[in-house]
Structure 1
Amino acid sequence: MRAAALAFPLAILAVAGGCKAAQESAAAGETATCDGVPPVKMAGRVTDAADILTAEEEARLSDRLARYEQRTKHQMVIATVPDLHGARVDNFGTCLGNRWGIGRKDQDDGVVILVAPNERQMRIATGSGMEQMLTDEEALAVVRQMTPRFGDRDYAGGLSAGIDAIAAQTGDPQ
């Protein structure tokens, strides 16, 4: 999985960087390690460990993700965590995607939207099979669409906007 990142200081979200550093590390023979990334139990298409969504919001988002998967065959999930336990947000998102087996194994076409609201960071991590459909620049554009709502603590609205933008970019305009 590769990822586009966002850190949001105070109430405003700002881009912290894309995945170029991760790609350069991989090219240099370094691999992402999941050391320090705690196990997070997947609860479904929406895993809200940070408890920032209501049950109704989770259900709405989960339904949207199910429709996306039905139409495109690409799997997308949302994970919120209360903290990153000192791990880098890019590693955390990639590790969740790999541990949970997001996307079809033969296609590596999964997407993980990770939000750590207490640390004001987020990540869109994608499998290598999505790289042509959702480039780093496009993922960052999605993040920028989500940030105003996150800044207003409208996490469900930001996540919904993110899902819709990713869906439109990857072949499911709804």
Structure 2
Amino acid sequence: MALTGRVTDAATILNDAEEDGLSKRLARYEARIQHQMAIVTVPDLHGVSVEDFATCSGNRWGIGRAAHDDGILILVAPTERQIRVATGSGIENLLPDEKAKAAIDAMTPRFKRRDYAGGLSAGVEAIAAQTGDPQ
């Protein structure tokens, strides 16, 4: 799978307007804070753990500034009901595991209602607030 932009919806859970809105929010986040955040949805994990899939994907795609290792990847595998927020080591001080889990907790209730755009938006806003870009 190839990364196609700030939002790559391979699981086709977002409509065009939702994808565009999320992409614009991620662009504003990057412009203000400099950290790059991407959202990727996948139809399945191919038997790989969500943690490994997210970390390997983020590394392969080079999310974040290379010199700072400050990328953030939100990975959603809706069929397997798995979510992961993977971070580069350069942003772990701002977004440690417990704060990444809080972002996942913000997404989960909406995902249970199949409101994927609302859940992703809530997750992005939770991460933004933790990393210095409340909106």
Query: Which amino acid in 2 is paired with 1:42?
Result: L
| Aligned-residue CA RMSD (Å) | 0.5
Q: Secondary structure at the match of 2:124?
A: helix
How far residue 67 of structure 1 moved from its aligned partner, in angstroms, is 0.1
**Cα distance between partner residues in 2 of 1:138 and 1:166:** 8
How far residue 155 of structure 1 moved from its aligned partner, in angstroms, is 0.3
Structure 1: state its 5+ residue gaps.
Answer: 1-39
Match of 1:153 in 2: 114
Q: Secondary structure at the match of 1:56?
A: helix
Match of 2:128 in 1: 167
Structure 2: state its 5+ residue gaps.
Answer: none
Give CA deviations for 1:52-74 in whole Å, capped at 9, x if unaligned. 00000000000000000000000
Alignment partner for residue 125 of structure 1, among 59, 71, 86? 86
Indicate whether 1:80 and 2:7 are aligned.
Answer: no
Match of 2:100 in 1: 139
Q: Secondary structure at the match of 1:77?
A: strand
Indicate whether 1:57 and 2:18 are aligned.
Answer: yes
Give CA deviations for 1:132-173 in whole Å, capped at 9, x if unaligned. 100111111111111000000000000000001100100111
**Cα distance between partner residues in 2 of 1:140 and 1:73:** 22
Query: Which amino acid in 1 is paired with 2:2?
Result: K
TM-score (norm 2): 0.99
Q: Secondary structure at the match of 1:125?
A: strand
**Cα distance between partner residues in 1 of 2:21 and 2:102:** 23
TM-score (norm 1): 0.77
Larger Cα Rg: Structure 1 or Structure 2? 1
Query: Which amino acid in 2 is paired with 1:162?
Result: G
Indicate whether 1:92 and 2:56 are aligned.
Answer: no
Q: Which has the higher contact order (CA 8 A, sep 6+)?
A: 1
Alignment partner for residue 2 of structure 2, among 18, 41, 57? 41
Aligned length: 135
Query: Which amino acid in 2 is paired with 1:77?
Result: A
**Cα distance between partner residues in 2 of 1:173 and 1:128:** 22
